[in-house]
Amino acid sequence: MNAPQQKRILEADEFVLRDAKGKVRARLKVGEGGPILKFSDSSENVRAQLAVGDESSVLQFHRADGKLQVAVGELQDASGLALYDANGKQRTMLVIAEQGPVLILKDAAEKLRVQLAVLEDQPFLELRGPEGNLQMMLGVIEEAPQFMLHDANGMLRVILTGSADNPGLAVHDENGKIRVWVTMGEDNATIALFDAQGKLLYSAP
């Protein structure tokens, strides 16, 4: 009978794998935050990296020039995916948190331009200008659809609500004051006009 083989345990502070040309292709070590595993190409550029900490774990993919391209990670109660352009700028991010999923799209300056989310079962879509100011919002709040338009300064200018019982339209001036209000009831429609101080100028019926 063959003697049972003894288990072999290899311990070290760091493991390095090299190819036939002596190039480092993989490296495993324990850093200050936890274990890190790196994979490199034939030019020894790190192309993939996995890091695990006490409260998070992150998987990253890099271009040959070292710029980050993709990152996948989790942190406590949230997980996410981030995509980067050829310049290493983050352009897309998908996050799943306790409140719900959020999709974020950014421009070349990494400014938030589009956000789509379902938070606490309330869906909404936001569009923002070059400076990050909110320009448009479309959502469903307490089962009533709402459409909002903002000016270049982010000031709310138009609200359209689709409530089943009392749909309405409100138009605001540059100071946020309501100037026009239109609402539809079960039997009639109402329109009201206001001045800059909020004084009623006209209403019908």
What pLDDT is recorded for position 173?
96
What pLDDT is recorded for position 9?
85
Domain CATH for 170: 3.90.930.1
**Domain assignment present for 112:** no
What pLDDT is recorded for position 3?
61
**Domain assignment present for 33:** no
CA-wise closest residue to 150 among 141, 159, 139: 159
**Domain assignment present for 148:** yes
**Domain assignment present for 4:** no
**Domain assignment present for 145:** yes
CA-wise closest residue to 133 among 106, 151, 148: 151
- Which pLDDT tens digit goes with each residue over 8-54? 888 888 999 999 999 999 999 998 889 999 999 999 999 999 999 98
Q: Which residues of the chain have pLDDT under 70?
A: 1-4
Which positions ≥6 away from 15 have C-beta within 8 Å?
Answer: 26, 27, 28, 29
Q: 203 is in which domain, residue-wise?
A: 121-205
Q: How many domains does the chain have?
A: 1
